[in-house]
Amino acid sequence: MHPGDCFRGTTFDRHLQIILVIAQAARLACVNATSFGSGLDGDRSCVLKRGDHATILHDSCIVYERARLVRIEDLEKGFERGLLEHLDPLRSSVFKRVIQGAIESEDTPGHIVNLLQSARDASA
Amino acid sequence: MILKRGSPITGDIFCALPHGMIVSKTLSLIDQMILGQPSELFERNFNVVGKWDLELRAVPDTGALSRSEIRVLDAVFEEHGNKSFSALRELTHSLPEYSDPAESSIPVAPETILAKERRPEEEIDKLRTKAAQFTQSDELFNRIKE
């Protein structure tokens, strides 16, 4: 699994999940997108549009306030047990917008902002 | 934070108790600490002072909080942090979402807080949808851990 890779639940919570960054201790940070108008339209730090990903059919926001750290082992088990399915990764240009939005959003948890900034510094 | 973003910072359940509004799980953790049966997390971070008060042992890790949440918490502390127990009791009794639970407790849903603040029904519906999505998302990540 790599930053920019995507997945979602197979039967439960079908929202697009995006891997933001690989963290220490075999964890990764991910965040989900959701359509505007579904109740979660407060954060406009990054707006995804139709064509940005096959699952994005309407203008959508990224729910940065719910970005979370997940154990990679748990995700792998989720795929093995059929609870999760892999989706096409984001194009590089789209993923850069998602990351920029995560850093700029006032609602992203601080530890995830720090991870993203460290990853950005390391790759600079 | 509920009025601004539609979701609480703590993820806890609000309740009306005889002495005012509280967050339920947090109060249980404080009670355990005061009764000498602290959770590991609380024992690591707090000392009991006197009969009813807690103090931080050190500056806590705020990594799980966002910038907007820290701003709200700082503003709340600035406005209410030095108020006495009785002043806070009086204040929370005056909140529109508070209702007297007699000797019991009454859970107060976030949408009730919006309704009591006379927010439009559309906004309250959005909050319900948001809460349902959060629950679904949490459920997904809980299931993969099982």
Tell me: the pLDDT tens digits for B16-48?
Answer: 999 999 999 999 999 998 888 989 988 889 998
Number of structural domains chain A divides into: 1
Over residues A74-99, the mean pLDDT reads 96
Look-up of token digits 């009764």: B35
Q: Residue A42 pLDDT more than 80?
A: no
| Per-residue buried b or exposed e for B63-78, using 16+ beta carbons within 10 Å of the residue's own CB | eebbebbeebeeeeee
- For residue B52, the model assigns a pLDDT of 83
Residue B77 has pLDDT above 90, yes or no: yes
What was the pLDDT predicted at B11? 81
Q: Give the range of the structural domain holding residue A96, as residue numbers without chain letter.
A: 6-123
pLDDT beyond 90 at B103: no
- Name the residue facing A42 among B5, B69, B136 (closest C-beta): B5
Q: Does A69 touch chain B (CB under 8 A)?
A: no
Asked if B125 lies within 8 A of A65 by C-beta distance, the reply is no
Residue in B with minimal Cα distance to A17: B137
For A94, the token pair is 């789209």
Within a domain: A1: no
Closest CA to A41 of B2, B126, B45: B126
Question: Which residue from B minimizes the CA distance to A10?
Answer: B140
Average pLDDT of the residues of chain A: 92
| 3-state helix/strand/coil string of chain B | CHHHHCCCCCCCCEEEECCEEEEHHHHHHHHHHHCCCCCHHHHHHEEEECCCEEEECCCCCCCCCEHHHHHHHHHHHHHHCCCCHHHHHHHHHCCCCCCCCCCCCEEECHHHHHHHCCCCHHHHHHHHHHHHHHHHHHHHHHHHHC
Count of C-beta atoms within a 10 Å radius of residue A96: 13
pLDDT at A71 over 60: yes
Task: Give the contacts of B87 (CB within 8 A, at least 6 positions apart).
Answer: none
State the pLDDT at residue A101. 97
* Per-residue confidence band for A94, with pLDDT thresholds at 50, 70 and 90: very high
- pLDDT of the residue at A39: 54
Of A6, A21, A26, A5, nearest to A123 by C-alpha is A21
Mean pLDDT of B85-113: 91
Chain B residues close to A83, C-beta within 8 Å = 140, 143-144
> Residue B4: is its pLDDT beyond 60?
yes
Does an H or E element contain A84, and which?
Answer: strand A84-87
Q: Which residue of chain A is at minimal alpha-carbon distance from B122? A: A39
Query: Taking CB atoms and an 8 Å limit, are A110 and B70 in contact across chains?
Result: yes
pTM reported for the whole predicted model: 0.87
pLDDT score, position A38: 56
How far is the alpha carbon of A74 from chain B, nearest alpha carbon, in Å?
Answer: 5
Our CA-based measurement puts residue A90 at a distance from the nearest CA of chain B, in whole angstroms, of 20
A41 pLDDT above the threshold of 80: no
> What's the pLDDT at A91?
97
- The pLDDT of B68-89, averaged and rounded, is 93
Instruction: Kindly state whether A118 is in contact with chain B, defined as any CB-CB distance less than 8 angstroms.
Output: no
- Collect all residues of chain B within an 8 Å Cβ-Cβ radius of residue A64: 66
Would you call A39 and B125 a contact, using CB atoms and an 8 Å cutoff?
Answer: yes
At A111, the pLDDT band (50, 70, 90 cuts) reads very high
* Interface contact A12-B63, CB threshold 8 A: no
Instruction: Tell me the C-alpha to C-alpha distance, in Å, between residue A51 and each of A10, A47, A60, B1, B128.
Output: 22, 12, 11, 34, 29
Q: Of A102-106, B52-56, B68-72, which gets the smallest average pLDDT?
A: B52-56
Strand-strand pairing, A47-48 and A84-87: unpaired
Over residues A24-50, mean pLDDT: 85
Q: Is A82 on the interface with B (CB under 8 A)?
A: no
pLDDT at B58 over 90: no
What's the whole-number average pLDDT of chain B?
88
Please give the residue range of the domain that contains residue B96: 2-145
pLDDT for A37 beyond 80: no
Residue A21 lies in a domain: yes
Name the region of A109 (left: φ>0; alpha: ψ -120 to 50; beta: rest): beta
The domain total for chain B is 1
